[in-house]
Amino acid sequence: MSQPVTPLTQPLDATVRPPGSKSITNRALLCAALAPGPSTLTGALFADDTRAMMGALSALGAEVAVSDGVVQVTGGALSAGTVDARQSGTTSRFILPAAALIAGRTVVDGTPQLRARPFGPVLDALRQAGAVVESSGFLPAAVTGPAAGGEVTVSGHISSQFLSGLLMAGPLMRDGLRVTLTSPLVSVPYVEMTKAVMAAFGVTVSDLSVEPGSYVPATYAIEPDASAASYFLGAAAVAGGRVTIDGLGTGSLQGDVAFADVLARMGASVIHAAGSITVESSGSLRGIDVDMADISDTAQTLAAVAVFADSPTRVRGIGFIRGKETDRVGAVVTELRRAGIDATEDDDGFTIRPGTPRPTRFAMYEDHRMAMSMALLGLRVPGIEIADPGCVAKTYPEYFADLAALGG
């Protein structure tokens, strides 16, 4: 089955509120499960990745209940168990440090795709903290605690999720946790997000250190997903017109709101307000040279937009996304080339030279972000289809319905 995309016949004039942030939802779920007592989460994302986290926490003894879109988590001391993280990198990389808090052996596993992703840095850090770890550096991994904590090192250039997971578990370790990075940190805004969510549940991170302590239950509102918003902001740039994202404003925790500023460099008009972001474009765009290391989840969105610019676009600083759900650098270049676009891989990113895509049924590589970004090409040119559209259920099950609604 494939999903055809219908080109728009007039400039956009739309307001969109994407579903809740996946990244914030999974952080809030874990902090709530580590807090003794009931917490309430509103605005949460309900998709494969967040249901994987809910299932993982339930498997470890937390109570997770959903009613009318509100998530109630009753947390406290977790117990050892077996966790299926499905395809969710955030779930697996956050649960492994949490498992190190438990006096028992916990096994974490996932799909074959997740098993191919690297886990060595976080597992090595857990060994340094005193946990017993059985793994070759990939899933499945068994972790036996409790870990005492103290001083640990972890690399920062592969994924910021390793650091975020360690920090969230740190306050419940006997000696707290002090983390030293052995390489430059990528996706820095995601670690700042982690600190903000932890603070909402009563834990303060000082630099990369957390003192022994405890979380407190909280009522927490989750903002819309900024990575998901990038597709609709990109739609305004590609098709022309105006799109406003409701619920994401100047106080957002998510670094990916900066994608709007990348579009501004390409010639779009951007308005940041307290509760919204608006992008307006004539559809006339210029190519840019941009480092997207801090907003790498929007790099594929920019690749689709760059096809319609008037000069090449060079994206830098994203070599690490080769280790995501798929090799996102190689996949973008391969698929755009199949559509007749001149695209090349670089060591740390890609270069897109503008052109007119020919009718293409794009392969998705089981990557939700490939599907959502490549679909933008179909808003401007006919004959674009997305193979395996169901892969968007990982983070945005209603994406294609919401994309179609842009046209009226």
**H/E element holding 99?**
helix 89-99
CA dist., res. 323 & res. 357, Å (int):
27
**CATH level 3 topology of 22-209:** UDP-n-acetylglucosamine1-carboxyvinyl-transferase; Chain (3.65.10)
pLDDT of 408: 60
Q: What is the DSSP letter of 6?
A: P
CA dist., res. 58 & res. 213, Å (int):
23
Q: Read off the pLDDT of each residue in 342-352 and give the average, rounded to a whole number.
A: 97
C-alpha pair distances (Å), 182 with each of 9, 122, 152, 157, 291: 51, 12, 10, 9, 22
Contact 179, 13 (CB under 8 A): no
Residues 62-78 have pLDDT tens digits of 999 999 999 999 999 89
- How many Cβ atoms sit within 10 Å of the Cβ of residue 121? 23
Question: Omega of the bond prior to 7 within 30 degrees of 0, cis?
Answer: no
**H/E element holding 334?**
helix 328-338
CA dist., res. 50 & res. 88, Å (int):
8
CA dist., res. 390 & res. 371, Å (int):
9
Residues 248-306 have pLDDT tens digits of 999 999 999 999 999 999 999 999 999 999 999 998 999 999 999 999 999 999 999 99
Residue 198 — left, alpha, or beta (φ > 0 → left; ψ -120 to 50 → alpha)?
alpha
Contact 395, 23 (CB under 8 A): no
In the annotation, is 347 catalytic?
no
Residues 229-247 have pLDDT tens digits of 999 999 999 999 999 999 9
* Coil/strand/helix, residue 406: coil
Write the class of the CATH domain 2-20+224-405. alpha beta
Of all residues in the chain, the percent with pLDDT exceeding 90 is: 99
Backbone angles phi, psi at 384, to 5 degrees: -95, 130
pLDDT of 283: 84
Residues 180-218 have pLDDT tens digits of 999 999 999 999 999 999 999 999 999 999 999 999 999
Structural tokens at position 329? 């650098």
Q: Read off the pLDDT of each residue in 39-56 and give the average, rounded to a whole number.
A: 98
pLDDT of 407: 81
Of all residues in the chain, the percent with pLDDT exceeding 70 is: 100
Average pLDDT, the chain: 97
CA dist., res. 181 & res. 201, Å (int):
25
Contact 377, 370 (CB under 8 A): no
Residues 80-97 have pLDDT tens digits of 999 999 999 999 999 999
C-alpha pair distances (Å), 88 with each of 82, 269, 310, 369, 381: 15, 35, 37, 13, 33
Residue of 297, 348, 367, 388 marked active site: 297
Contact 236, 269 (CB under 8 A): no
CA dist., res. 141 & res. 123, Å (int):
8
pLDDT of 368: 97
Backbone angles phi, psi at 119, to 5 degrees: -130, -5
Q: Read off the pLDDT of each residue in 164-170 and give the average, rounded to a whole number.
A: 98
Ranges of CATH 3.65.10.10 domains, the chain: 2-20+224-405, 22-209
